[in-house]
């Protein structure tokens, strides 16, 4: 028995998204993984709150991120069939990540280094593309390898044969669910979480070099 997963490339209509696309010269700036064709819920590494762009981690994104605030996102959806054993392992892995999500953080240095095709490893931290790459490589999907270039452009090219849709994000009813993106935050909270985020990155990076 086979199951299906969906890899969603997106051009998010936010200031940060436009900045990333300008720096990379690529049409997409983000990638996520969904277990359902309506992509109402997607797993990725991204900012947690709309108003705090540099504080990120493992998130279960609502499709409303792509339909709200700044307008509709442009997306490319790729469909991959997954045999039963790999799918069960994948489900269990995602559940474990979600249960331990406070330990996982966004790898900001890797996001910057990806512009020159480098991938600095920091314990329990990922970017959106290194997360999706690891998932695909871990379960032997689409010929993706852990040593592939850590860029959205390279991953999109690898998955081109699996594309099933390209255009505005499909309309889908839904709610925010477990996604904290629209939560109201204070300036003090934004400063604290951003400083804490970079402090955690620095400590983990130094521990890895010790």
Mean pLDDT of 103-109: 94
pLDDT at 181: 94
The four Cα atoms 62, 65, 68, 69 give a dihedral, to 10 degrees, of 140
Q: Give the pTM.
A: 0.92
pLDDT tens digit sequence for 67-101: 876 678 999 999 999 999 899 999 999 999 999 99
Q: Which long-range contacts (CB under 8 A, 24 or more apart) does 100-106 make?
A: 101/57, 101/58, 101/59, 102/57, 104/45, 104/57, 104/58, 105/56, 105/57, 105/197, 105/200, 105/201, 106/45, 106/46, 106/47, 106/55, 106/56, 106/57, 106/197
Structural domain boundaries in the chain = 2-209
Is the confidence at residue 209, as pLDDT, over 70? Answer: no
pLDDT score recorded for residue 23: 86
Tens-place pLDDT, residues 167-186: 999 877 778 999 999 999 99
pLDDT of amino acid 116: 58
pLDDT for res 210: 42
Exposed, middle or buried by CB within 10 Å (0-12, 13-18, 19+), for 188? exposed
Q: How far is CA 44 from its chain centroid?
A: 3
Q: What is the mean pLDDT of the chain?
A: 91
């Amino acid at each position: 028995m086979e199951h299906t997963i969906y890899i969603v490339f997106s051009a998010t209509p936010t200031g940060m998204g436009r900045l990333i696309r300008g720096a990379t010269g690529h049409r997409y700036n983000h990638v996520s993984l969904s277990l359902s064709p309506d992509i109402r819920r997607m797993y990725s590494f991204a900012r947690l709150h709309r108003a705090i762009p540099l504080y990120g981690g493992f998130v279960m994104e609502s499709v409303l991120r792509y339909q709200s605030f700044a307008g509709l996102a442009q997306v490319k959806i790729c469909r991959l069939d997954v045999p039963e054993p790999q799918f069960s392992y994948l489900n269990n892995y995602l559940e474990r990540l979600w249960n331990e999500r406070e330990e996982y953080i966004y790898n900001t240095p890797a996001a910057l280094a990806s512009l020159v095709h480098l991938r600095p490893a920091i314990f329990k931290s990922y970017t959106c593309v290194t997360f999706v790459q690891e998932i695909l490589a871990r379960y032997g999907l689409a010929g993706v390898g852990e040593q592939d270039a850590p860029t959205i452009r390279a991953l999109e090219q690898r998955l081109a044969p699996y594309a099933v849709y390209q255009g505005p994000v499909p309309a889908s009813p839904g709610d925010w669910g477990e996604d904290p993106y629209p939560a109201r935050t204070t300036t003090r909270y934004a400063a604290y979480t951003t400083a804490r985020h970079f402090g955690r990155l620095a400590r983990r990076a130094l521990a890895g070099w010790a």
